[in-house]
Amino acid sequence: MTIPKRKSYRNFIYIYRYEKFFYQEGCRLIAGVDEAGRGCLAGPIVTAAVILPKNYKIEFIDDSKKISAKLREELYERIIKDAIEVQTVFISAAEIDKSNVYQATITSMKQVISQFEKKPDHVLVDAMPIYNFHCESSPIVRGDIKSVSIMAAAIVAKVTRDRYMAEMEILYPGFQFSKHKGYGTSEHLQELQTHGVTPIHRLTFAPCQSRSKYVQMSFLDFDQSFWTQSEGILKKV
């Protein structure tokens, strides 16, 4: 395919070029897919899929990791409101440990696409190719800065996961999950040294392997009905 060259991160021509190509190929619904939390020591992988309206313009959208938390939240609310459809899937730490992080990510991407009520004609995925699947897809390296659909999915995945990790801090008050989100920061490594691992830590990841002690759940008020777990897949209810 012939794709226009990049001019700037926020250049509409640049971030809509993949969508434009597939619309011109006859596609009507194009989905973007991305995940958050793949490299974390604790918490789930959250994968989001978003179908935006054709030629939908959203100001200030950018790489989800570079924009402020406040702007991410604002963009999240707008995406949820305006999108044709949004789906999310959670893959728990236990499920990641059973397979591996790569396979867990692929599984989450296939599942989130399958959850669409409106089947997309094509799916744009951040970097990872999806083989042996019923829906046509294109992996785009650094898609979270090149495709508006993937950028939208990245924002939904990150905001959803960040909110979940903040809830986990209530369950495990010895861990600043609302701050480091489960990534391997110096603070998190010190917390592991002090408290041991929790049930949401990934025990196959090196920093967690030598720490098999589980901390006790806090009895602080926590709305358990907000999240459900089934066969290793966490979903918001």
Question: What tens digit of pLDDT does each residue of 54-102 get?
Answer: 989 898 899 898 999 999 999 999 999 999 999 999 999 999 999 999 9
With a cut of 60, say whether residue 219 has pLDDT above it.
Answer: no
The tally of domains found in the chain comes to: 2
Whether residues 115 and 132 share a domain: the answer is yes
Q: How far apart are CA 191 and CA 74, in angstroms?
A: 31
Question: Tens of pLDDT along 145-177?
Answer: 999 999 999 999 999 999 999 999 999 999 999
- Residue 171 near residue 217, CB atoms below 8 Å: yes
> Taking residues 178-198, what's their average pLDDT?
95
What is the pTM (predicted TM-score) of this model?
Answer: 0.85
Whether residues 131 and 204 share a domain: the answer is no
Q: How far apart are CA 101 and CA 217, in angstroms?
A: 25
Whether residues 150 and 171 share a domain: the answer is no
Domain CATH code at residue 143: 3.30.420.10
With a cut of 60, say whether residue 215 has pLDDT above it.
Answer: no
Q: What pLDDT, on the 0 to 100 scale, is given for residue 13?
A: 81
- Residue 208 near residue 197, CB atoms below 8 Å: yes
| Domain assignment of residue 113, given as a range | 12-161
Number of H helices, E strands in the chain: 9, 7
Please choose, from the candidates 139, 216, 224, 126, the residue with its C-alpha nearest in 3D space to the C-alpha of residue 174. Answer: 216
Assigned domain for 226 exists: no
Q: β-pairing, 227-230 with 137-140?
A: unpaired
